[in-house]
Amino acid sequence: MGTIHLFRKPQRSFFGKLLQEFRLVAADRRSWKILLFGAINLTCTGFLLMWCSSTNSIALTAYTYLTIFDLFSLMTCLISYWIMMRKPSPVYSFGFERLEVLAVFASTVLAQLGALFILKESAERFLEQPEIHTGRLLVGTFVALSFNLFTMLSIRNKPFAYVSEAASTSWLQEHVADLSRSLCGIIPGLSSIFLPRMNPFVLIDLAGAFALCITYMLIEINNYFAVDTASAIAIALMTFGTMYPMSVYSGKVLLQTTPPHVIGQLDKLIREVSTLDGVLEVRNEHFWTLGFGSLAGSVHVRIRRDANEQMVLAHVTNRLYTLVSTLTVQIFKDDWIRPALLSGPVAANVLNFSDHHVIPMPPLKGTDELNPVTSTPAKPSSPPPEFSFNTPGKNVTPVILNTQMRPYGLGLNHGHIPYSSMLTPGLAVPGIGATPGFRTNFTNLPGRYGTNNRIGQPRP
Amino acid sequence: MEEKYGGDVLAGPGSGGLGPVDVPSARLTKYIVLLCFTKFLKAVGLFESYDLLKVVHIIQFIFILKLGTAFFMVLFQKPFSSGKSITKHQWIKIFKHAVAGCIISLLWFFGLTLCGPLRTLLLFEHSDIVVISLLSVLFTSSGGGPAKGGVLLLVLALCCKVGFHTASRKLSIDVGGAKRLQALSHLVSVLLLCPWVIVLSVTTESKVESWFSLIMPFTTVIFFVMILDFYVDSICSVKMEVSKCARYGSFPIFISALLFGNFWTHPITDQLRAMNKAAHQESTEHVLSGGVVVSAIFFILSANILSSPSKRGQKGTLIGYSPEGTPLYNFMGDAFQHSSHSIPRFIKESLKQILEENDSRQIFYFLCLNMLFTFVELFYGVLTNSLGLISDGFHMLFDCSALVMGLFAALMSRWKATRIFSYGYGRIEILSGFINGLFLMVIAFFVFMESVARLIDPPELDTHMLTPVSVGGLIVNLIGICAFSHAHNHSHGASQGSCHSSDHSHSHHLHGHSDHGHGHSHGSGGGGMNANMRGVFLHVLADTLGSIGVIVSTILIEQFGWFIADPLCSLFIAILIFLSVIPLIKDACQVLLLRLPPEYEKELHLALEKIQKIEGLISYRDPHFWRHSASIVAGTIHIQVTSDVLEQRIVQQVTGILKDAGVNNLTIQVEKEAYFQHMSGLSTGFNDVLAMTKQMESMKYYRDGTYIM
């Protein structure tokens, strides 16, 4: 609906929609606080910029950019509230979770670009150092510092908190880590604030303020103006150091990469999947983070020709579902189009159409009733004959499951015990026993393949 | 004498080429003595040449040196008559060799004039093997002499020399012996230096009173420094091990350097010296400070130490003895060997990669051009002490960072897919385009702020310097625009003529031109040009607009005295940049947010409708289609089918339909009712079961024959 509306009136609806979304967000009481802080931030930034031009200090400018970054982070926070209320639209089928990531990425990159500007400006200032007026320098510093700290500590900024936790440690944090560890040795109470690692934003705010205080002191005492440029460079570098890991982390999410910390788990799951009965190969696995945290993925699973697709699909999905919430599994078989050497009229029937790509499968009646509980594809204690890839004339067994509905509670009741211990062979025996047709077919097969000049290879 | 050595060496590879390491030392003694003597003579020659350099210009000195060396070597080696003929390709290589040799000797002798012979000897006379191992350890220069620049120069020349020798080793095999190569190379470098010397001797008046008196010192220098040293070195390196040769060679030369440093200006040696006392005014120049002596001793020691472990490191027998790893020096040596080989190769390979593809090649060439312009600007700015030029140079450098990022993105986007980047690196280009867009927005913002500040308080401008710089920048950027829009034209066929015509008209139709640029950028916004190139293009465009703005405002200020024109122009430019960036940012955002690709929207809609009509299909859910990178459009879809159809056929049909719609990375999950039953059996969570039940019920509903969708 929304898109059609947009399409009809493209001019008015952009701002209209923006206003509408804004109203939606503003309806939430939590966002009022953010809006209030945003308003304070704007005035504060305005004052700071004025003081920057009056003091002519580039270090204060660099520090003001941190305040502007705070504004961005507030906006990100607002966006994350908005995301919680939005449902996926047909166009943005994955939902808007990634907007949060994009907002984090954009604000960290913008902060770094601002730092780059500061570096450029200070390179020019090194050539010709202008005079710095210290009048408002200290005032500005403390206004900015108190405001930044106040914002950081009073607003729970979910996306930034997540990123600063998940991203790798910045060099600034590394350097402070030793210091804070020894400090916590003296005063153990501080360990909740300092110890795993300090909040990077608080850290950079404090460090920047410290640099500015030093600047103020040196200029007051010695009229040593170059220290202003130097501390501007220091603040810019610290900004880089703080923002870089976060932008790398969020950038990697945007690049649809597999997060490194889940690779171990994923590997384990994929190994489990590939040991399922009937699975020959797992390939084209793409796993990536959708927003912060939730994993999406798609995988192709190649199965034996005689394996039950739906069962394998269910088991693969079940395994991966614990980790990957948005999952698509494509099951494919090699040579499925080839005629099946099934006994009886089916084979002959299929053979007629073997060159055609649409094979009308004869509606087979279900040979046995397959109980979903007992259809566990576990490895039997005596393994069934293995089949090689692309074996011609392999047995396609179109298993037609019973179509009658089973009372749900039954499936649930049965489901617990056998499925949770799927790979134990002992429990799987009834599953095999329930499909006698399969067993006989399997046991007959190897002799047939022996004549087919291709002995079954062991499964990978 | 030299002929004898030459003959020996020619015989050398036959007799001693396969020689084992432990040749009896008695046989080596004469070579060692010979080496020591030569090194001593070399020290003499270098001290001599230091004195000579006081009166003779360095170029002339090198020219004469090369001339003399070439003369003797051609005489002895007869490179033209003997050996196989040299191909054109080899001549080119010899030419390169000669150029490099000239540069190195220039650096060397220039360092000599700055540092004095003692320090030169200490710093420069290390053999390659020592230097290579020295560099593998952290190199700290303890030679802190009076002329820091000279020390740096010498170190640079030394590094050059080592690289040069390594590089020329292969060439010498090609050409047929190191001596032949040397002879030819010296000859070529004489020819190279000849015009320079002529120009020099015509333009500058020489300080030399009589060239005849200098013949004798020149001859000694030529013989001692160039010829004798070269021959003895080559013979010793054949007869002995390289490291041993280095160790024995460094002793006498440092010691003799110390001795000469002490006694060169002494009255006794004055009488022995062949040279007349033209430059004997200050006796303090060769004076030995304590630091020099200490550093000389350390140099000797370090040469000794470094030349021995490098030998051990090359053997590599120690690897495997210790269970926890190899000893440190062994590893260091290996690592250095590895990196010394791989760094040039790495540069070479990445250059090759850059030049392979059209996009990255263009960015690279433009980056080179931009860098060149920047450095010319910076250099000129430093030379003329013009602050405006320098700051403009910094600005250009700042802009170059965007280009560098674009280049890296273009390079990385071709990397193979890895475990982490499972779809490949193509998306980096989009991210880079996005960052470039942000960059431009930041630039626009800053320009805007600046111009607003200037609009309130227009400053007086000094315009005379601005015009040439901005015209230069404009030309550079116009070339860039032409190149990038040319690349763009190949894919889209936008207008190109206007670009060429605008190349000549930067002084007249400036406003028209800027309009053209703006229109062009919008044209590119619609197409599917890759985001990275669009970002780079917009960046170049913004720079062009900046230079145009500067020119226009300069003209307006000079003609009419409108100082308000400058902030107005920059305001206008800032808005233009901002407007032209918006489409780029919007497109990149859409891709990054995994939007349904707008250009495929209609096809995909049709495709989904077609999918619904497939026989046996009940419904589909979770259709996700997104553009991953310029070349990959990925999609996943879940499809529910009736129990009696074959899944693989459905997969095939759906794949066909979606491939036709432009999706090239597909995953299709085909679900039957059995799947939901299995899942409900498998899933342990209550909510999942509930969801599954709903799905199943809906499926059942469909199966009754009432297809809703």
Q: Are residues B565 and B674 in the same domain?
A: no
Residue type at B375? F
Are A361 and B391 within 8 A, CB to CB?
Answer: no
Span B475-493, pLDDT tens digits: 888 888 887 776 554 444 3
Q: Are residues A57 and A98 in the same domain?
A: yes
Cβ of residue A427 closer than 8 Å to a chain B Cβ: no
Q: Are residues A301 and A164 in the same domain?
A: no
Residue A401 and residue B644: Cα distance in Å, rounded? 9
Which residues of B are less than 8 Å from A123 in CB distance? 394
Q: Are residues A132 and A269 in the same domain?
A: no
Q: Write out the residue range of the structural domain in which residue A137 sits.
A: 14-255
Ranked by mean pLDDT, the top range of B71-80, B266-275, B489-498, B505-514 is B71-80
In a domain, A383, yes or no: no
Nearest to B668 among A109, A314, A330 (CB): A330
Span A295-302, average pLDDT: 90
Of A365, A440, A325, A329, residue with least CA distance to B678: A329
Are B643 and A299 within 8 A, CB to CB?
Answer: no
Nearest to B636 among A128, A255, A328 (CB): A328
Q: Are residues A240 and A327 in the same domain?
A: no
Residue type at B230? F
Give which of A48, A257, A285, A419 to mutate to test B binding, by max B Cβ within 10 Å: A257
Are B589 and A102 within 8 A, CB to CB?
Answer: yes
Q: Which of A285, A314, A333 is the C-terminal boundary of a domain?
A: A333
Backbone angles phi, psi at B41, to 5 degrees: -65, -35
Q: Are residues A168 and A47 in the same domain?
A: yes
Q: Are residues A80 and A226 in the same domain?
A: yes
Q: What percent of chain B has pLDDT over 90?
A: 1
ipTM of the complex model = 0.72
Q: Are residues A168 and A297 in the same domain?
A: no
Cβ-contact B443, A114 below 8 angstroms: no
Are A298 and B636 within 8 A, CB to CB?
Answer: yes
Q: B351 exposed, middle or buried (CB, 10 Å; 0-12, 13-18, 19+)?
A: exposed
What pLDDT sits at residue B286? 52
Residue B312 and residue B308: Cα distance in Å, rounded? 7
Q: Number of folded domains in chain B?
A: 3
Report the side by side order of strands in the sheet with A295-303: A279-289, A295-303, A326-333
Q: B616 exposed, middle or buried (CB, 10 Å; 0-12, 13-18, 19+)?
A: middle
Q: What percent of chain A has pLDDT over 70?
A: 68
What pLDDT sits at residue B135? 55
Q: Which of A220, A238, A255 is the C-terminal boundary of a domain?
A: A255
In a domain, B658, yes or no: yes
In a domain, B673, yes or no: yes
Nearest to B595 among A92, A317, A333 (CB): A92
Cβ of residue A254 closer than 8 Å to a chain B Cβ: yes
Nearest to B438 among A110, A405, A420 (CB): A110
CB pairs under 8 A between A and B: 198
Of A439, A295, A102, A256, residue with least CA distance to B665: A256
Nearest to B680 among A263, A300, A408 (CB): A408
Q: Number of folded domains in chain A?
A: 2
Span A326-378, pLDDT tens digits: 889 998 888 776 655 444 343 333 333 333 444 344 443 333 333 333 333 44
Residue A290 and residue A279: Cα distance in Å, rounded? 27
Which residues of B are less than 8 Å from A331 in CB distance? 647, 651, 669-670
What pLDDT sits at residue A103? 92
Residue A327's H or E segment, with its range, is strand A326-333
Cβ of residue A367 closer than 8 Å to a chain B Cβ: no
Q: Are residues B483 and B583 in the same domain?
A: yes
Angle at B609 between CA B603 and CA B614, to 5 degrees: 120
Which residues of A are less than 8 Å from B648 in CB distance? 309, 332-333, 336-337
**CATH code for position B672:** 3.30.70.1350
Are B683 and A318 within 8 A, CB to CB?
Answer: yes
In a domain, A189, yes or no: yes
Is A237 a residue whose pLDDT tops 70?
yes
Are A398 and B646 within 8 A, CB to CB?
Answer: yes
Are A94 and B594 within 8 A, CB to CB?
Answer: yes
Cα B140 to chain center, whole Å? 24
Sign of CA dihedral B691, B695, B696, B701: positive
Are B681 and A414 within 8 A, CB to CB?
Answer: yes
Cβ-contact B224, B50 below 8 angstroms: no
Which residues of A are less than 8 Å from B677 in CB distance? 372, 401, 406, 411
How is residue A338 annotated by DSSP?
S
Are A403 and B628 within 8 A, CB to CB?
Answer: no
In chain A, which among 84-123 make CB contacts under 8 A with chain B?
Answer: 90-94, 96, 98-99, 102, 106, 109-110, 113-114, 116-117, 120, 123
Q: Are residues B359 and B439 in the same domain?
A: yes
In a domain, B135, yes or no: yes
Residue B472 and residue B671: Cα distance in Å, rounded? 65
What pLDDT sits at residue B367? 86
Cβ-contact B32, B106 below 8 angstroms: no
Q: Are residues A93 and A225 in the same domain?
A: yes
* String of DSSP letters for A35-101: HHHHHHHHHHHHHHHHHHHHHT-HHHHHHHHHHHHHHHHHHHHHHHHHHHHPPPPSSSTT-SHHHHH
Span B626-639, average pLDDT: 87
Are B679 and A317 within 8 A, CB to CB?
Answer: yes
In a domain, A28, yes or no: yes
Are B684 and A332 within 8 A, CB to CB?
Answer: no
pLDDT confidence bin for B66, thresholds 50/70/90: confident
Nearest to A94 among B624, B643, B648 (CB): B624
Sign of CA dihedral B471, B536, B584, A162: negative
Residue B248 and residue B303: Cα distance in Å, rounded? 9
Q: Are residues A188 and A326 in the same domain?
A: no
Entry pTM: 0.61
Of B585, B346, B330, B325, residue with least CA distance to B444: B585
Nearest to A91 among B595, B666, B696 (CB): B595
Are B592 and A102 within 8 A, CB to CB?
Answer: yes
Span B100-127, pLDDT tens digits: 888 888 877 777 777 777 777 766 666 5
In a domain, B230, yes or no: yes
What pLDDT sits at residue A115? 93
Span A59-92, pLDDT tens digits: 999 999 999 999 999 999 888 888 888 887 888 8
Which residues of A are less than 8 Å from B589 in CB distance? 102
Q: Are residues B255 and B370 in the same domain?
A: no
In a domain, A427, yes or no: no
Q: Are residues B226 and B357 in the same domain?
A: no
In a domain, A301, yes or no: yes
Q: Which of A292, A313, A333 is the C-terminal boundary of a domain?
A: A333
In chain B, whose CA is at the least distance from the CA of A414? B681
Q: Are residues B124 and B192 in the same domain?
A: yes
Tokens representing A163 are: 């990123």
Ranked by mean pLDDT, the top range of A58-67, A449-458, B349-358, B367-376 is A58-67
pLDDT confidence bin for B271, thresholds 50/70/90: low
Q: Write out the residue range of the structural domain in which residue B180 sits.
A: 25-205+213-269+291-307
In chain A, whose CA is at the least distance from the CA of B397? A120
In a domain, B589, yes or no: yes
Q: Are residues A231 and A270 in the same domain?
A: no
